[in-house]
Amino acid sequence: MDDAYVTFLRNIDAAVRERFHPLQLELSIVGFTALALAGMTDRGTKDIDALRGAAFFDEKQSDALDYLVAEFGRGSAGALRYGMYLDLVPQEIIWLPPHPRFLPGFRLDHIEVRRLDPIDVCVSKTFSNFQRKQDRANDRTDIMQALHEQIMSFDSYVSRLDESFPRYECHAQAPEVFPRVIAFIEEMRPLYGQARLSYSIPSWMENM
């Protein structure tokens, strides 16, 4: 576990204690930070991504999160002080697998930190990477590094991708994204394993 991320989160916890005691918050960490908290070699990311979803309809929690973004978000005094920032990501804009799997991280005085399972992180990064005409170098590198460092297995990664395709068949970008994801997995097979995707692009999508 990277000490820099833990120190940053401890300072966030202290801010919650000072201003919102006895409020308890849950931070669901996604993206590269979730991989780093799982033990993957750090590449020095600056953004600490956490989900902001339907759980935060609670007004007090929502107010606390707004405060934390103001104090520790991009361009804030906290970001300048610690060299990283908190980025709250709406769940609907990232392509998560069905029933995302969050693992225990650690509990602070006022914040419980959960981290997205590394397999689910990499599934999300796969779709994210191919939503763009040009690959996002970090996404591709993170996926390959997670496989190389055995943070996840290739078989489990492919299986979770198979579960995720149907979830996004109606997404406007699916006809462009899906073939690129499938080609990527075929490219990876000689390097990391023999697992194959069982998912087939439906004929209606191929004809679009």
- pLDDT tens-place string over residues 134-171: 656 689 999 999 999 999 999 999 999 999 999 999 99
User: Which among 208, 199, 126 has a CA at the least distance from the CA of 163?
Assistant: 199
Can the peptide bond before residue 166 be classed as cis, meaning omega within 30 degrees of 0? Answer: no
DSSP bridge pairs for 103: 115
The CA-based angle 112-157-174, given to 5 degrees, is 95
User: Which among 126, 119, 197 has a CA at the least distance from the CA of 152?
Assistant: 119
**95-144 residue pLDDT tens:** 999 999 999 989 999 999 999 999 999 999 999 999 876 656 689 999 99
Rounded to an integer, what distance in angstroms lies between the CA atom of residue 156 and that of residue 202? 23
Rounded to an integer, what distance in angstroms lies between the CA atom of residue 67 and that of residue 60? 11
Grouping H, G, I as helix, E, B as strand and the rest as coil, residue 203 is: helix
Prediction pTM value: 0.90
Q: What pLDDT was estimated at residue 105?
A: 86
Q: Taking all residues of the chain, what is their mean pLDDT, rounded to a whole number?
A: 90
Whether the per-residue pLDDT at 10 is higher than 90: the answer is yes
The pLDDT of 183-205, averaged and rounded, is 92
DSSP bridge pairs for 89: 51
Question: Would residue 137 be called left, alpha or beta, if left means φ above 0 and alpha means ψ between -120 and 50 degrees?
Answer: alpha
Grouping H, G, I as helix, E, B as strand and the rest as coil, residue 17 is: helix
pLDDT band at 53 (very low <50, low <70, confident <90, very high): low
Amino acid at position 124, single letter: S
Q: What pLDDT was estimated at residue 136?
A: 62
Q: What pLDDT was estimated at residue 42?
A: 83
Whether the per-residue pLDDT at 194 is higher than 70: the answer is yes
In sequence order, what E strands does 46-169 have?
A: 47-52, 85-90, 102-107, 111-116
Whether the per-residue pLDDT at 54 is higher than 90: the answer is no
Whether the per-residue pLDDT at 185 is higher than 80: the answer is yes
